[in-house]
Amino acid sequence: MLLRVPDAIQRPLWEGELEPDDTVPPAETLRGTESARVGAAPRNLPVVSIGRPEVWNVVDFFDAGALPTPMRAKLSEASFYLVRLACSFRPAHDSTEIDWARFSVSLQRDEAGLIPSAFDLHPLFVTQEVKRNVTVSLAPTLKFLEVEAGIGAVGFGFEYQEIQPVISASGAGESEPAWDFQAVKGTHVYGSKWMHLLVRASPAMTTCHARLELSADVVRSGLRIAAFSRPRQTSADPLTVRLWG
């Protein structure tokens, strides 16, 4: 089974214009570079979208009788879920660009106090060149493994049409994984970004919720602005979702 990455986010969980983050000190942005305080809320900041997560139980992808011994051992100890995540960036006009962005996931404790963790993330590190037609499978150790096209049949995996640099992921083994997207010379952060997360949870954890968040450094007419993906609100958070259960 090959899970192809869609061309675009079909049903956004949230979509809207970035909001300036007034909590960031005047001389700082979210990643620590110099900035200037925004005197008034700027208009026409980039529009971003956060997609609805897609979730699969890993055991559903394999024939139990054909599982490699290391994989069978891990699946007997814990439950593993593949989570597909997505976000997109659309500049409002030519003078506004996204220089850096972070998509983060906060895996929540359940009522019994159980908390899942990020077992692996993909893409993990992309630095120099655009990667096209990337196929990723699961190794017997339940780690993501990129495989070359045309080398045998992939029993299970997912495929990206394109992965653009610079991307760095963090948080493996923790409950708050994240992906950072960094502009490179001649271009900025734009378009759809797809990510995959392998979540490890106790078999007793029948329900899992996660909070999704998107933050960015925006450059507008030479001014660097720290921004986040939604206005603060007192009502129910639309970016907290149930992953399974």
Percent of the chain with pLDDT strictly greater than 90: 56
What is the per-residue pLDDT across 52-85, written as a single tens digit (0 to 9) for each? 999 999 999 988 788 888 999 999 999 999 999 9
Q: What is the 3-state secondary structure (H, E, C) of 79-114?
A: EEEEEEEEEEEECCCCCEEEEEEEEEEEECCCCCCC
Q: How far apart are CA 103 and CA 212, in angstroms?
A: 7
Which pLDDT score, from 0 to 100, does residue 229 have?
A: 78
In this predicted structure, what is the pLDDT of residue 37? 46
Extents of the domains making up the chain: 9-121+173-229
pLDDT at position 57, please?
96
- Which tens digits make up the pLDDT trace of 159-171? 999 998 899 999 9
* Dihedral sign for Cα atoms in the order 87, 90, 91, 97: positive
Q: Is the pLDDT of residue 34 over 60?
A: no
**Residue with the two structure tokens 């045309």:** 150
The SS3 of residue 61 is: helix
pLDDT number for residue 242: 97
155 has pLDDT over 80: no
Gap between the Cα atoms of 116 and 241, Å rounded: 15
DSSP helix/strand/coil, 47: strand
CATH of domain 9-121+173-229: 2.60.40
- Cα separation, 158 vs 13, in Å, equals 22
Is the pLDDT at 235 greater than 60? The verdict is no
| Between 30 and 169, the higher pLDDT residue | 169
32 band by pLDDT with thresholds 50, 70 and 90:
low
Query: In angstroms, what CA-CA distances link 230 with 21, 31, 242?
Result: 10, 19, 19
Distance, CA of 75 to CA of 69 (rounded, Å): 10
- For the ranges 29-38, 72-81, 121-130, the lowest mean pLDDT is seen at 29-38
Across the range 208-217, mean pLDDT stands at 95
Output the pLDDT for position 206. Answer: 95
Average pLDDT value over all residues in the chain: 86
